[in-house]
Amino acid sequence: MTRSLQTPALGGHELPSYLEDGHSLRSWLLSTDHKRIALLYFGSITLFFFVGGAAATLMRLELISPSGRFFSNDGYNRLFTLHGVVMVWFFLVPSIPTTFGNFLLPLMIGAKDMAFPRLNLFSWYLNTVGGLLVIACLVLGGVDTGWTFYTPFSSLFANGYVILAAMAVFVAGFSTIATGINFIVTIHTLRAPGMRWMRLPLFVWTQYATALVIVLATPVLAITLLLLMAERLFGLPIFDPAQGGDPVLFQHLFWFYSHPAVYIMILPAFGVISELVACFSRRRVFGYTAMIYAILGIAVIGFFVWGHHMFVAGMSPLAALVFSFLSFVVAVPSAIKVFNWTFTLYRGQIYFEAPMIYALGFIGLFTTGGLSGLFTASLPVDVHVTDSYFVVAHFHYIMVGGAVSAFFGALHFWWPKITGRMAPDGWARFAAILMYFGFNFTFFPQFLMGYLGMNRRYHQYAPEFQIYHVASSTGAAVLAAAYALPMFYLGWSLIWGRRAEANPWGATGLEWQTSSPPPRENFLKTPQVREQAYDYHPETEAPLHEAPEGRRPHNPQGAGA
Amino acid sequence: MSGQALHEPFEDLERQRLAAAFGMWIFLATEILFFGSAFLAFSVYRQLHPEGMLAAARETNIVLGSVNTAILLASSVTMAVADKAAEQMRKRETILCLALTAAFGLGFLVVKLFEYREDIAERLVPGPHFALTEPGAQLFFGFYWVMTGIHAIHLTIGIVIVLITIWRIRRGSLAYGRSGFLPSLGLYWHLVDVVWIFLFPLLYLGGRA
Ligand code: HEM
Ligand SMILES: [Cu+2]
């Protein structure tokens, strides 16, 4: 049984691609095509990635010297607040869902578009309005509350444009809610014939779980920010301790959103990694069903662990115990996923192309971040490391090392599908390796200095920490270079890159069965699905040793197609 | 003539209607968490400061509050009838019931404005001149203003959409009977009512046993 993958089974070079379907500005800004909206989003999150990145660069620069040389205390506070707000809500939360999710979800389930195409466009405009608000806040002078907006500081005492920042997050939150609703309804109602739930690619499953978390968690943040704004703007007492209000209540509400939000950021990355690992080891995902339960388990349990951010804020010993226990529980499904990816590699035929290098990097960094989460989840250790650089390192390993690596992995993997061009794989591999190296160089020292007592959110520190900070800042320079590189070679590939076939990686999944880039309607005819996901080889045979002829062909890039 | 009912990317109407209703239900779930969090915070304070919160609750205007509850319930009835009328493609009745719904909604807002004016006159706005001294009383009115305000904004949005819908049905640009739009709008309207059904006892009935 050999299969030809060179000619698209379902989609047509006969039709103009979605990129050629209108060239005016209007045809982009008013487009309801999910693929074009994905690109609009790609533009906005790239912009914000660089805004947040600029703030990070300034912070790392400032931290080279223990004396706080360039910024005032207030200036430094504004810097890390801006960095956090932009990176969390304007880059990482929307990143994978709004770009790759938007682009791929209908393609992967065999649909023409999202269930509500106009709502999809509307959500981009909402996101843009939120973005403008945050930029206005930045231009006017910023905020100094930290991305967590803790009351009563934020509501009664802080200088700066708290209202603008909170409003920006509020609006952006509704934009993600709109996207979430669209995803859920699309997956429920627009699957192609034969695309049963248990045949969905794991990327779709993770988008589904993410959307669930988005629609159930984000409204809590929305009302919390409204209450904060009411207190600050109209002087209505809500969290003010002088009136009997409870600031810790704010923290509960905030983390009830913000812990699930970390899964909004990481679940889509899990989906990407499952696709990449399967494709580049020519292997069915090990434990496909277990993966689905793990995804859903994380989405559900993730709602019940928020208290671990507040162990030192004051809570009953029983509550602390329960939150600690549940935080250990939520790590189990994450671990299951890591094991399953590893088992997928076993007896696979592994190709080390750029997307795969990103994926392997993800597994390493995510595991490190997740294990450090277990440290912080255990009460005695957390009391020691709370508000230290240890926590900073923990969440950067997961959110930057993990989620951002997955974002770049996805970008390289689906680049041919999105643009119709191949990226130069040598450069891409170089950037991927540099990113892994630069990341560890930047953030591993932070574990050490955090454990030794370096507090987060300070720009003046004891001189004995300088060596760690200098190491971290040097690493940050490397990391910055690794993040900037793809801009150049991917831009280059748009004009000079080799033209992509429909399925350049020999991957499974409906998105590879239509032309690259796909036509406006995605498919020439409605796909019929007869196979399970990741049909890389017959079910009972591992591809490396048994029946290599049954395996889907894959031409390593550069070996020529 | 009414506008086209079937939209891309759907291929049959039944599924499109299902999708519209389903999407609205999910939105309602987000709304429940939205309001629910505020109710939760309110309940926490009710637990922390029972006396002050109840004393403050006695200051609300129960007459206007009850009248408004009745108005909103009536508007839900007319909204439900509008939906049924639309199902049977009875254009005149649909428009009439929608107009009644919007009118009830506006009536609610007018009554609420009178009530707000009275609250302000009675110095029930938290701040240095606040009328009550019990601890927690200011918190109660913090929530009172925020919650009724957010509810009023929801209602205003509902009224605007109902008015636009009337206009579109009259112009013939909305396939009101089949597209699944009216049932979704109805769901939203009923949710705004239900929120009030929770607000009413929390804000008006507490402390008046
Ligand atoms: C393996 C499961 C995980 C566990 C057990 C865990 C545990 C924890 C704990 C206990 C804290 C609080 C530490 C402190 O403030 O003292 C924390 C902080 C944090 N975690 Fe995790 N975590 C896990 C996964 C994740 C994931 C997947 C992400 C992001 C995608 C993440 C992002 C964060 C962030 C952003 C903070 C710090 C928030 C702040 O204070 O600004 N965590 N984690
Ligand atoms: Cu957490």
CATH code for position B165: 1.20.120.80
Q: Are A101 and A183 in contact (CB under 8 A)?
A: yes
Q: Return the DSSP state at A47.
A: H
Residue B25 lies in a domain: no
Residue B42 lies in a domain: no
Nearest CA to A282 among A555, A7, A527, A2?
A555
A-chain residues near B9 (CB < 8 A): 106, 111-115, 117, 190
Domain containing B83 equals 50-205
pLDDT at A12: 62
Question: Which two structure tokens, joined as six digits, stand for A403?
Answer: 């989620």
pLDDT at A23: 87
Residue B90 lies in a domain: yes
CA distance B184 to chain A (A): 14
pLDDT at A1: 31
Nearest CA to A203 among A149, A272, A120?
A272
What is the mean pLDDT of the segment spanning A136-163? Answer: 91
What is the mean pLDDT of the segment spanning A404-424? Answer: 95
Number of domains in chain B: 1
Q: Which helix (H) or strand (E) holds A526?
A: none
Write down the pTM of the prediction: 0.93
Secondary structure of residue A546 in the 3-state scheme:
coil
Nearest to B146 among A189, A230, A256 (CB): A230
What is the mean pLDDT of the segment spanning A524-541? Answer: 87
The alpha-helical segments, DSSP class H, found in A453-541 are 466-496
**Phi, psi angle pair for A288, to nearest 5°:** -50, -45
Bridge partners for A421 per DSSP: A499
In the structure, what pLDDT confidence band is assigned to residue A559 with cuts at 50, 70 and 90? very low
**ipTM, 2 decimals?**
0.94
Q: Which of A34, A151, A189, A521 to mutate to test the interface with B (most CBs of B within 10 A)?
A: A189
Residue B69 lies in a domain: yes
pLDDT at B8: 79
Residue B122 lies in a domain: yes
Residues 6+ apart with CB under 8 A from A459: A59, A62, A63, A68, A71, A73, A76
Residue labelled with tokens 């969440």: A395
The listed range with the strongest mean pLDDT (A167-176, A346-355, A501-510) is A167-176
Residue B19 lies in a domain: no
Inter-chain CB proximity A219 and B141 less than 8 Å = no
Taking the Cβ of residue B112 and every Cβ of chain A, the question of whether any pair is shorter than 8 Å is answered with no
Cα–Cα distance for residue pair A254/A166, rounded to 1 Å: 12
Question: Which two structure tokens, joined as six digits, stand for A300?
Answer: 């559900």
Nearest to B23 among A185, A231, A243 (CB): A185
Residue B115 lies in a domain: yes
Q: At what angle do helices B50-57 and B137-171 cross, to 10 degrees?
A: 50
Residues A305-334 pLDDT 10s: 999 999 999 899 999 999 999 999 999 999
Q: Are A412 and A274 in contact (CB under 8 A)?
A: no
What is the mean pLDDT of the segment spanning A526-531? Answer: 90
Residue labelled with tokens 């230290």: A388
Cβ atoms within 10 Å of B129's Cβ, excluding its own: 7
More confident call, A18 vs A2? A18
pLDDT at B4: 73
Q: Are A264 and A93 in contact (CB under 8 A)?
A: yes
pLDDT at A6: 44
Q: Are B148 and B112 in contact (CB under 8 A)?
A: yes
Q: Which helix (H) or strand (E) holds A457?
A: none
Q: Which of B12, B30, B35 to mutate to test the interface with A (most CBs of A within 10 A)?
A: B30
Checking if the pLDDT of A4 tops 60, the result is no
Residue labelled with tokens 């907006």: A149
Residue B57 lies in a domain: yes
Q: Are A362 and A406 in contact (CB under 8 A)?
A: yes
In the structure, what pLDDT confidence band is assigned to residue A5 with cuts at 50, 70 and 90? very low
In the structure, what pLDDT confidence band is assigned to residue A545 with cuts at 50, 70 and 90? low
Cα–Cα distance for residue pair A283/A274, rounded to 1 Å: 11
